[in-house]
Structure 1
Amino acid sequence: MELPRAAYRAAFDDAPDGLAIVDPETGTIRDCNRRYRELHGGGECRGQDVTDHVVPIRDGEGELLDRLDAAATDDEPTNCRLRAAESVPVELRLSSITVEAADLLLVRVTEIEEGAEKRRDRKRKARAIDEAPIGITITDPAQADNPLVYVNDEFERLTGYSAGEALGRNCRFLQGPETDSARVAELREAIDAEEPVTVELRNYRNDGSEFWNRVTIAPVHDETGELVNFVGFQEDITAQRQDRAELELAHELLETVPSGVARTDLTPEGTFEYVNPALVSCLGADSADQLCEYDFADFYVDPSDRAELLEELSEGDTDDVSRETQLVTLDGDVRDVIVTASVSEDDSGERHVHKIIQNITDRKRNERALERYERLVESLPIGVYQNTPGSDGTFTLLNDAMVDIFDADSKAELREQPVRDLYVDPEKREAFSERLREEGAVTEAELKLRTLSGEELWAAVTAIARDTEEGTVFDGVLQDITTRKEYEQRLKEQRDNLDILNQVLRHDIRNDLQLVTAYTDFLGEHVDEEGEEYVETIRQSADHAVELTRTARDIADVMLTADRDRHRVDLWQSLESELDEVRSKHSGAAITVTGSVPEISVVADEMLDSVFRNLLTNAIQHNDSTIPEVDVAVEERPETALISIADNGPGIPDRQKEGVFGKGEKGLESSGTGIGLYLVETLVEAYGGDVWVEDNDPRGAVFFVELPKVESADS
């Protein structure tokens, strides 16, 4: 009985091997079953070239095509790998069949059982690699720059880079500027030589954090000896290196630390079991063996210190105990030390005392010297400080005098102030700081500073720049020289004024005396009517000389008096006395007073008379009118008194108004000197007043003097 066509089709589709019907002339697949499609990735296979689906292991593709052309039947199987899954080895058999009178080939693909087991083994290995607790990488040396083609999960966790971010890149992307170039070169040489190598490198994760990576690279060769790839193992050994470094450091420290280290038993005497070189030196021994001949108790100046220390340890309230004490060396010297002790128990249950002995003899000596120094610094009447440089410099050390100088409430308040804010001109701070850095020391620099209350002061600063472990600092002393500077300024002004006075007096008196001498020559023994004119000239010149000497005396008195005693002065009395005197000396002048002079008092002194005398005399002597006219008026204002003295002389040009009170000012045609006007301005300003000049109408000048009034309550 012939089976139905559907049964054949079902048997074809459900066959356990991959089956494909192929045109022997073209190699085109006419039909294939489900298993064949699965082996080739599950896609459509009909119409494709069968030779595109397989990769021969030993035979070339050309032989396979030859066999197809020859329509070989029941040939020996050909071992192949599928292009869709090259890791799957298969047997490929060819058979001739006839379908609907057409001669075709049946290609049967059978998965090799041994290959399946190996594939399962490979899957197990792949899963083990993926889940391995260390980072595993595979690189492809056949590609340029040996890129990563595989990384496992632990590599992603270890480095912070996903597989997508890592694949295609060389492993050196984990390196940074701190990676040891020598170890990298060692790794590179081994890779070039196709030899296994292990190095420890400082690497960097994706987030920038560093870790120590133990990298092992091993080459993988195929059965022909050709290099296939490199397998890498990456292990985070940061903690291991730290532990190893700490152990090495601890051992090194025991032998090299400047503090003494000892281990003794727990007996009252404390027999030495171990001492380091520092303790040998501290106790004046020649060697550790020599020191171990003694008990630790033998070295205490006061043995009770050790007993109390052990008692405190035995109470168990703390892990370690520290105490300042004194030890005596084998040479008899006394050492100030700090003993820190702790108790441990070894595997056998025996207890030991571990001690760190810090020699603080020098420190204690320095502390005592520092205490004396600090007492000295605090008692100094000048400021002593230390501050940091730069625009944001701050005080780090201060004495009490600095607090007083800058009107601070405390040292803490002054430390909070940036140093530059204490300068009237902050740029001076920058210049001083730069100079100090360049020269290393600055002596007696005079700086204008400002206190916390806003008062300005002059200070003489001497400072040095010094390098410390924390950086450069400025150590200095500061003395308030405000009083000295003010005194120096007054002396300078007095010297300048006296110099001017000397020049002016010599010049004017010399001129007057020349006139006296010249006209005296004309007088002879007898004077006739013609000689009377010369006598008058002599008289005027002599009077002028007397007036000059009087003004000079007033100026000298003003300049040599540091602080004038200003007080209440009756304005009318002072003005009236000078009006009377000037009228008597200059009878040819018309001197009037407009209105009445109010009975008021002003802030001045006995030199106020000189102010009015010089202004009145100036108005007459510098007058070119036939009859000099002078008009005086007084106006009482709310807080001041305004005195005006007007004349009908030539007036003062605008360009000279501001300087008319200056040193040695005088009119171009005037025989006067202007020294009196300088005295006027000096006195008026000392009284807290003001003086200026304006044009008179229709001609001449008006001098105004404004003086502060004294209120009746003050009188």
Structure 2
Amino acid sequence: MPEYAQALRKIFGTALDASVDGVVITDNKLPDNPIIYCNQAFCDITGYSMDEIIGHNCRFLQANDRNQEVRRTIADAIKEGKACQVDIRNYKKDGSLFFNELSISPVYDEDGNITHFIGIQNDITRRKEAEHSLKLERENLEKRVNERTKELQEHEAFLKGIVETIRESLIVLNPDLKIALVNKHFEKFFKINANELIDQKLTDVLEGSWNIPELVNLLENVLPEHNPFEDFEVVHDFPYIGTRRLILNASQITVGGAYQNWILLAMEDITERYVIEKKKDDFIAIASHEMKTPITVVKGNLQLLERMLEKGDMEGYKPRLRQSMDSMENLNRLISNLLDTSILTSGSTNKTSEVIKVIDIIDTPLAQVGEVYKSHDFVLYGDTDLEILGNKDQLSQVITNLLINAAKYSKDSKQVVMHVGRVGNFAKISVTDTGIGIAKENHKRVFDRFYRVSGNDNNYFGAGIGLYISQQIVADHGGTIWVESEIGEGSVFSITLPLSK
């Protein structure tokens, strides 16, 4: 028996070492539940060697990212001696982030005491590889189904098993385009029960959402023409889930018996990806326009100055130089905003704070913006001697962004009012204009990166990053920023910043 137990342990150890999933075992009897075993897959996933792992608590993988709710779930499970499964953010040895699907289970001794915990982790950042595998699976689905059906007597149960394991919405259609089967993902995504769909024409379900002539024509040709199709795009306002953008692929399934000549229709939701790509394209177009405008002005002025120099006309020099300098300042501000966006996104702001008066962050922006928007009347009142703790340059940039927006969106109303006051332990700075205003549903979204209010795109150019940067800076200083506005009634943008004492 000892030899058998030893051989069995060796087999278990070999199996664990050969596993493609990361496996760790911790000793619950030792202080802090340290790792006493890990397999090579765990080392490969994390980038640490076994010597660097053994003896440490698993929490070292979270680095400084300890404020995760799932950590409490893990701690409670260990404390109560229960199994659990969570998704958690971990960090490799090189500092790169990966998402880990972690399952832990207790191990008991003969007396019922928990002696160890075993943890199995799967690096779910590899889902892109799964998508590629899914594409290959679709291409070979007909062949695989045909091969497998020779081994099975009940084809429908087998087909259901395949459909349910694929992580995208799938429909199986009979030759009449009636729904024979939908998977759980389809039910969950479209928020509908399969019983409401079975034996219904595809074109009749979900309030006729699939009654698309071009799609119907493609589906009708899949079987008689043996003609599968890929990447058919559908944009539709679906019941329960709203407007979605989907990519559809369809192919024939050849399964012997009663289920021969069915159609497998696969759907991939690309809505979020499309929105991100659209924002990126819009941003590039806007940024390109904003950069070209001051460059064009400067180039034109330089050409004009060259001609004036040849004619000896010195009177027109100063305004042309001033205009060129203003244009270059606008270009510099745009480039700075782009750089600030990158810095804020990376989280490395390197903020240096000092005690400053509110007037210190208002004075220069007020003068600079007033010089650019000379037709506007900028009014400042309130307690500008209030002292705050912050970074002068960053907070001045916030004020500059608010003043520029107030002036830019108030072309027909020339007054911009800034008020400074104390609210509790905070200094409150408000910038008021009587311009075009902002609809209530956009009050929060205007602070999103690259967001621009619909309808203003052609009338008011901007990259959609000024308010995003301002919000990040204010939040980094322990303050808040918000807007109060209605369409046609102007806007009041306010920020609060903690007082220094």
Q: Same fold (TM over 0.5)?
A: no
* Structure with the higher fraction of residues in helix conformation: 2
Bigger CA radius of gyration: 1
Q: Which has the higher strand share?
A: 1
Q: Which structure's relative contact order is higher, taking Cα pairs within 8 Å and 6+ residues apart? A: 2
Q: What's the TM-score, normalizing by structure 1?
A: 0.31
